[in-house]
Chains A and B, each alone.
Chain A
Amino acid sequence: MSSVAYKQADYKSDVKPIWCPGCGDYHVLMSFGRAFAQLGLPPEQIAVISGIGCSSRIPAYTNCYGFHGVHGRSLALAAGLKVTRPDLTVVVASGDGDGYSIGGNHFLHACRRNIDMTYVVMDNHIYGMTKGQPSPTTEPEFDTALSPGGTRVRPFHPLVVALASGANFIARCFSGDPNQTADVLAEAIKHPGFSFIEILSPCVTFRPDEKAWKDQVHPAPVTETSDQGKAARRLMTDDGFNIGILYRGTRTPYQPAAGATNIDLSELEKDFEL
């Protein structure tokens, strides 16, 4: 840990967010700064990788290295970065659309691979940036222009999928409690392997009904577990508003062995010699 004391403000760039006033993501940005400050991480040692959507705008609002990639592929970008630069702290930011829809396949494999990184999904149960289409976590009866009368399709359960696919740390937070979110984020970063945090972050513009979330979230009435069976039962019966660290696994993170040898190329060419 560094001897320099960092403050939350050290991680904030001077780019003014375009997020609507009232958006939960402002609190998430604060939580990033608080968590990084808690851990004493130099801003230049952190890479924030994102896809496309309102939540994915976050890298430019931090003072860290950032990558605003294409839609749904942030985890792949992050994997390439982390295995070649294990010295960096890699935080991946996404939303429920970018992360669970087009990014769904990469989510499965990122959990499987268990590379050491932290994946933060700001879930507002809607596609905000494209003006209000249903996302995989939108309630089936929620009426939108693209799905009149609701999708009638069961929502995605990201925490269950994360557990089944091998994520090593699973938590849910609420943007309205940025201190707790910061604490969980710091734990997630410290924990080796693929850490996944779903942050419920209300969308003031397309889901004003989510103002009610602050009364619906509640501390998870359980302690974190590393027992997969227990976690499975817990997550399959989760009400979507349990806040806290729900699973902390013991898998070894995936990291290719560092290239210790540096043999002469002529050794490689021996294969071809007659």
Chain B
Amino acid sequence: MAASRSISIAIIGSGGAGALTTVDSLLETAAAAGWQGLFTRTMGPQIRGGEAAGLLRLAVDPVESLPDRFDLMIGIDWLNAHRFGAEIKAGNQTLVISDPRGGDLPPMVTQSGARVVEIPMKEMAKAIPDGRPNMIALGIAGRLLGFTVEQAFAPIAKRLADKGPAAIEASLAGIKVGFGAAAGIDFGVQLAAPKPSKARRWLLSGNEATALGAIRGGIRFAAAYPITPATEILEWLAPNLTKVGGTLLQAEDELAAINMIIGASYGGTPALTATSGPGLSLMIEALGLATSAEIPIVVVDVMRGGPSTGIPTKSEQGDLNIAIYGMHGDAPHLVLAPQSVGDCVFTTQWATYLAEALQAPAIILSDQFMGQSRAAIERPADVAFIGARSIASEISGPYMRHAMTANGVSPMAIPGTRGGQYTADGLTHSERATPTSGAADHLAQLDKRRDKLDRFNFGDHWASVEGAGDLAVITWGSLTGAAREAVALAAADGIDARMVAPRLLAPVLPERMAAALAGVKRILVVEQTHGGQFNKFLRAHYDLPAPVRVFNRPGPLPITAGEIHRAIAVWR
């Protein structure tokens, strides 16, 4: 049987079946064996006991998007599973394992032509003292994926460490039964052997990666107000900031959170908060204050379905507009977007560095897909971007907080520095920071705040530019992985395409984009919005040298590589 480049598995169950833990465990098993992978979840509206599906894609190379079709689907039960129909697609190559007592097969299975094999997981679990059907499912999956019992069991043993030997024994017994039940099944799909690598393996979510990147970049204060899907960033920072000598303060709301971090940064401490769309809306006023007063802060927006309360548990890219244009007045600032779970580490670190270097707020547009997915990746390299603010010390003469300098960045006096006393202000101000309504000062400071960003050399990290084909796929954020894969699929078809995915969305870099698009004859813009926000942004700020088509769709369904590939293929 031919070795496949990736394998995808969906495990579905409800009512406390533990489907998600099962898949999470498989990810860990695969990671330990040297593969890379991505685990995402989709759930019903209940807080506990809801229908849930764990979705896993494993490969030899980095996995950054979901597949069009799943190779293997295991239904511990199918209660309300029809709700997942649009998200979890089966095809006629899919193997479906179903418990005959798990309810009716949903249309997404019966209409797909998939091969269905019945295994009575519930009954088998009952025969084991304290047995659970999801352990049977884990055994089945483990066997079909080519692991050993020990490999499949190891992550479960860790998770159940404090539940006592009986629970651990029951799980192991269940896994063995599952292995046995899968013995005769011809799956027909096999993962290629992992590449040998010296890099350490990591298992983490995009939110955890964001939090780590923040600390690597120098953040030492965080203000926290919980909101789905960003809360995990703050919950990871709570104990870990303390470990590096930092502090986290829980705020009463987002208005407090954003003002708290401005206060901390004014006092010299690099500061961050994390939120989602509704919270970012509340923070807009204070972001303007930080921009005007030239105080560096980092605000992570883990985007979710919008507008308003929207779909808190699903991903979308609809906060681009508010991140770039939300502030009243002309208030240039930094907007960045990570491109994968692993890239959350780099982008947050880089954003912190940039915010501190440029004394401006940085908004990071992450999203629920990256934030709450768990990935098995190689340890991200250390990079030399650590926040280094230009600090005024040894001040003689009147202190000019907003002094005109060659690069537009003025040394900042940290409270406690003799001679550096000034009042930070959102009011339009002079070089001395005192309020003014004069035309010359207003213009000079507006120019300064714009020019300091525009003159900065952002280097090659501003975007991922890959390939040289005459069809360019322009996208951003979590769609980068799917676009990259689509370009590879197109290449296999003989279509030469390239991908441009900006990591830095603001300020815009017209020369760099022009260079990236040199020679392009067709442009396909791909984004996960209803209103085509990214397309309009590109047209507003960049010369697009060729005809443009837009593939946009709002959440909650992810956009897959297959869909982008098809959009490329029809446009010859």
Contacts and interface: CB of A to CB of B under 8 A. Distances in A.
Determine whether A and B are in direct contact in the complex, meaning some CB atoms lie less than 8 angstroms apart: yes
A134 B47 contact: no
A20 to B, nearest CB: 5
Main secondary structure of the interface of A (DSSP, over half): loop
A71 interface: yes
B101 to A, nearest CB: 23
Nearest to B230: A130
Interface stretch (B208-216, B220-228, B361-369, B556-564): B220-228
B351 to A, nearest CB: 23
Contacts of A128: 47
A127 B48 CA distance: 15
Q: Which of B235, B239, B248 has the most C-beta atoms of chain A within 10 angstroms of its own C-beta?
A: B235
B250 A147 contact: yes
B252 interface: yes
A18 B227 CA distance: 19
B309 A70 contact: yes
Nearest to B234: A146
Contacts of B248: 146
B519 interface: no
Interface in A130-162: 130-131, 133-134, 136, 145-148, 151
A101 B46 CA distance: 24
Nearest to B251: A101
Contacts of B308: 70
Contact of A18 (B47, B226, B239, B254): B47
Given A70-B278, A136-B252, A146 B226 contact: yes
Interface residues of B, number: 23
Contacts, number: 57
B253 A205 contact: no
B253 A146 contact: no
A104 B252 contact: yes
Interface residues on A, range: 20 to 34
- If over half of B's interface residues share one DSSP class (helix, strand or loop), that class is named, otherwise mixed; here it is loop
Contact of B250 (A21, A104, A151): A151
B235 A54 contact: no
Interface in B60-104: none
Contact of B45 (A18, A21, A68, A101): A18
Contacts of A68: 309
A134 B252 contact: no
Contacts of A81: none
Contacts of A147: 238, 250
B49 interface: yes
Interface string A1-32: 00000000000000000111100000000000
Nearest to A127: B226
Interface string A214-246: 000000000000000000000000000000000
Interface of A: 18-21, 52, 54, 68, 70-72, 101-102, 104, 127-131, 133-134, 136, 145-148, 151, 205
